[in-house]
Amino acid sequence: MKRREFVKQLGAGALVAGAVTTGCSTQKPGDREAQGTPAQRFHWKMVTTWPKNFPGMGTAVNKLVALIDEMSGGRLEIKVYGAGELVPAFEVFDAVSAGTAEMGHGAAYYWKGKSEVAQFFSTVPFGLTAQEMNAWLYYGGGMELWRELYEPFGLVPIAAGNTGVQMGGWFNKEINSPQDLKGLKMRIPGLGGEVLRRLGGTPVNLPGGEIFTALQSGTIDATEWVGPYNDLAFGLYKAAKYYYYPGWHEPGTTLECIVNRKAFEGLPEDLRAIVETACKAVNLDLLSEFTARNNAALHQLVTEHKVALRAFPETVLKELRETADKVVAELAGKEPMAQKIFSSFREFRDQVTAWDNISERAYLNTRG
């Protein structure tokens, strides 16, 4: 999608929001230059955990930098580096923290070696959906806690995408009972991976670009990635037969834009507002894209590629749910900051569940 087409698709609202947050100034980005005062320009680098231009996550990053360029009148130009181009996929956090790049894009569970509790800001097994996650972050105090957590690393986190409920994964054997998880080598990150470990499996953390080869070669027995749209693009149906749902481990995965704090604070106020507004626009856009694209992709996987679509048995989900509760509770008890974040997360989850039961869930059950 071309830059101007994307901006037009998002509508004038995003551009208006940028103007409002900068004090409703009527001065256009180029006015200062027209008056003979050159506007200060910034040239940044963005590193990502995704293969460059990969459908969904990779293209969302391209949209983000295009929108920032458009809204800033070219005053903030950002060059995107896909996984491995400037730094390896899982070194994005360190690169932005050190200032090697001013921005990064990934998911917080990839940095659990830096901060285990950061995983609450990506996804929690049997946790919040995308809509609920956004509500917690924007209106439930989640964003403030996220920024407090990242402050010692010199980073400013901003929500910049969500996959929605993911699929349960690709398997080379049927999963009929919890016993079938024992000995299973599966690519699965974050807290979901720890749940698998507790049930006798071996979680493996691989960047997206290495998944197909590992599954095809037998290095792993199973994998989860995202959902039909991305899984079809990677050709995972060529390496595994069974496709399971639901994605108990990732019910609404938030993707993050992380910004080097020193670089961010070095921007004029209007450019800081533009970066945040553009991230919020892409946060909505990517979830909308996944919701739209997954439908056609799943149909193609099942009808054209004859994928065996399977639901996890309730006995398996029960074991996963009980184990997940223990894993999350243990993480929350490790340090005061973890308990602070979990308490906020849990309180919001309990409150929103009561509303969901008489709104979203009731409606979907009625619609059938």
DSSP string, 239-282: T-SEEEE--TT-SSPEEEEEEEHHHHHTS-HHHHHHHHHHHHHH
d(CA 102, CA 82): 14
Residue 292 burial (C-beta neighbours within 10 Å; 0-12, 13-18, 19+): exposed
Q: For residue 188, is pLDDT > 90?
A: yes
d(CA 94, CA 101): 9
Q: For residue 327, is pLDDT > 90?
A: yes
Show me where the domains of the chain are located: 3-31+40-164+251-292
Q: For residue 1, is pLDDT > 60?
A: no
Edge-to-edge strands, sheet with 42-48: 76-81, 42-48, 103-106, 254-260, 155-162
Q: Is residue 312 within a helix (H) or strand (E), and if so which, with residue range?
A: none
Which one-letter DSSP state was computed for residue 335? S
Cβ-contact 277, 14 below 8 angstroms: yes
pLDDT band for position 319 (cuts 50, 70, 90): very high
Q: For residue 232, is pLDDT > 50?
A: yes
Q: What is the mean pLDDT of the chain?
A: 92
pLDDT band for position 37 (cuts 50, 70, 90): low
What pLDDT is stored for residue 5 in this prediction?
Answer: 56
Least confident among 21-30, 177-186, 259-268, 354-363: 21-30
Q: What is the pLDDT of residues 148-161, one digit of tens each?
A: 999 999 999 999 99
Whether cis (ω within 30° of 0) applies to the bond prior to 246 is yes
pLDDT band for position 25 (cuts 50, 70, 90): very low
What pLDDT is stored for residue 36 in this prediction?
Answer: 52
What pLDDT is stored for residue 29 in this prediction?
Answer: 47
Report field, pTM of the whole predicted structure over 0.85: yes
What pLDDT is stored for residue 331 in this prediction?
Answer: 97
Cβ-contact 295, 158 below 8 angstroms: no
11: left (phi over 0), alpha (psi -120 to 50) or beta: left
What pLDDT is stored for residue 7 in this prediction?
Answer: 52
Three-state secondary structure string covering 94-161:
HHHHHCCCCEEEECHHHHCCCCHHHHHHCCCCCCCCHHHHHHHHHHCCHHHHHHHHHHHHCEEEEEEE
3-state secondary structure of 54: coil
CB atoms within 10 A of CB 77: 13
Range 191-225 burial, b when 16+ CB lie within 10 A, else e: bbbbbbeebebebbebbbbbbbebbeeeebbbbbb
What pLDDT is stored for residue 39 in this prediction?
Answer: 84
- In sequence order, the β-bridge partners of residue 104 are 47, 258
Q: For residue 116, is pLDDT > 70?
A: yes
Topology given in CATH for the domain delimited by 3-31+40-164+251-292 = D-Maltodextrin-Binding Protein; domain 2 (3.40.190)
Average pLDDT over residues 208-236: 97
Which among 113, 49, 55, 54 has a CA at the least distance from the CA of 86? 49
Q: For residue 198, is pLDDT > 80?
A: yes
Q: What is the pLDDT of residues 46-94, one digit of tens each?
A: 999 999 999 999 999 999 999 999 999 999 999 999 999 999 999 999 9
Which has more pLDDT, 36 or 39?
39
What pLDDT is stored for residue 31 in this prediction?
Answer: 46
pLDDT band for position 316 (cuts 50, 70, 90): very high
Average pLDDT over residues 101-110: 98
Residue 96 burial (C-beta neighbours within 10 Å; 0-12, 13-18, 19+): buried
What pLDDT is stored for residue 137 in this prediction?
Answer: 98
